[in-house]
């Protein structure tokens, strides 16, 4: 019925200006939880197991909310709420078609809140996870910045950072940013804590630091972290779908292809060291992103 993002958002806005962001805020964690459940199921099948039900992430969050709230200090609870609030704000900004650069900054602030929460307790495992999370940011943030620069150069004169400008492009973003798609995919693998980059906290017990930054969170406070992660999963693949913003279904297909690809990478790769991750990201995906930006300037997009 709706072949592109702009038509769908315009339909919702025609009913009520605040309806589309509200729908996104409510739908994002549900979509993220469903994707995580599918991830667990496929991973289990690859490993020869039956695996949990697809809705297991939702069941886990409900069970966590039912547990007694225990905490070491009030500061790291504040950071858990801040982490969730920033993730919700990212979804709202994207739904309103706001500045992609601001989206990048707010998303970075969310990660920093998680790091500060891990640093606010005395657990050595939590602090090790936090330090590795910082190294992950060093690895992928430059690529995300170049991605935003590529979006700016891909929009017609006068160039714009607005997400709404991407939705109004006459041709898919993939045509002008073909090399930035695999670079962005590598950043997504890090953000999803997938092998070979699951160095700060793992979702599977195949490394020495299983929970890392979230090891001291429990009960309802861990539930907040999990819900924020649902939002983050949605955000990562929503942005991937923007590579084909001219058609809703093709964009969703690209996002789903990226989703299944990162599951395969996770199950086919061993975990490697933090410094190898940085060397790989700066030598591979970073080079692809820079080549794409130089190519855009050569086309006279600058």
| Residue-wise pLDDT tens digits, 196-229 | 888 877 655 455 455 678 888 889 999 999 999 9
Where do the domains of the chain lie?
5-298
User: What pLDDT shows up at residue 1?
Assistant: 45
Q: Which two tokens stand for residue 42?
A: 């496929």
Top pLDDT among 139 and 210 is at 139
Instruction: Compute the distance between CA of residue 302 and CA of residue 124 in angstroms, rounded to an integer.
Output: 47
Helix, strand, or coil here: 99? strand
The rounded distance, in Å, linking the Cα atoms of 230 and 294 is 35
Region 115-121 average pLDDT: 91
Rounded to two decimals, the pTM is 0.92
pLDDT single digits (tens) 59-80:
999 999 999 888 778 888 999 9
Mean pLDDT within 109-130: 91
The structure tokens listed for 141 are 């943030």
* Residue 267: alpha-carbon gap to chain centroid: 19
* Position 299 pLDDT exceeds 80: no
Q: For 233-286, write each residue's pLDDT tens digit.
A: 999 999 999 999 888 889 999 999 999 999 999 998 887 888 999 999 999 999
């Amino acid at each position: 019925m709706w072949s592109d993002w702009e038509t769908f958002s315009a339909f919702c806005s025609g009913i009520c200006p605040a309806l589309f962001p509200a729908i996104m805020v409510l739908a994002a964690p549900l979509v993220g939880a469903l994707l995580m459940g599918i991830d667990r199921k496929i991973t289990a099948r690859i490993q020869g197991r039956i695996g949990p039900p697809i809705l297991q992430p939702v069941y886990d969050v409900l069970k966590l909310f039912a547990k007694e709230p225990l905490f070491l200090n009030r500061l790291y609870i504040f950071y858990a709420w801040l982490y969730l609030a920033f993730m919700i704000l990212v979804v709202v900004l994207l739904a309103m078609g706001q500045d992609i650069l601001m989206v990048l900054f707010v998303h970075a602030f969310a990660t920093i809140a998680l790091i500060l929460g891990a640093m606010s307790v005395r657990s050595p495992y939590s602090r090790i996870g936090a330090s590795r999370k910082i190294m992950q940011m060093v690895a992928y943030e430059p690529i995300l910045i170049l991605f935003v620069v590529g979006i700016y150069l891909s929009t017609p004169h006068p160039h714009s950072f607005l997400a709404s400008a991407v939705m109004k492009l006459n041709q898919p973003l993939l045509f002008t940013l073909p090399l930035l798609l695999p670079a962005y995919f590598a950043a997504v693998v890090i953000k999803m804590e997938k092998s070979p980059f699951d160095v700060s906290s793992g979702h599977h017990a195949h490394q020495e630091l299983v929970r890392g930054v979230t090891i001291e969170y429990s009960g309802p406070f861990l539930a907040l972290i999990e819900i924020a992660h649902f939002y983050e999963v949605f955000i990562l693949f929503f942005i991937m779908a923007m590579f084909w913003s001219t058609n809703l279904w093709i964009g969703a297909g690209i996002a789903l292809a990226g989703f299944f690809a990162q599951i395969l990478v996770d199950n086919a790769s061993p975990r490697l060291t933090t410094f190898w991750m940085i060397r790989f990201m700066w030598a591979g995906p970073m080079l692809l992103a820079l080549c794409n930006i130089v190519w855009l300037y050569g086309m006279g997009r600058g």
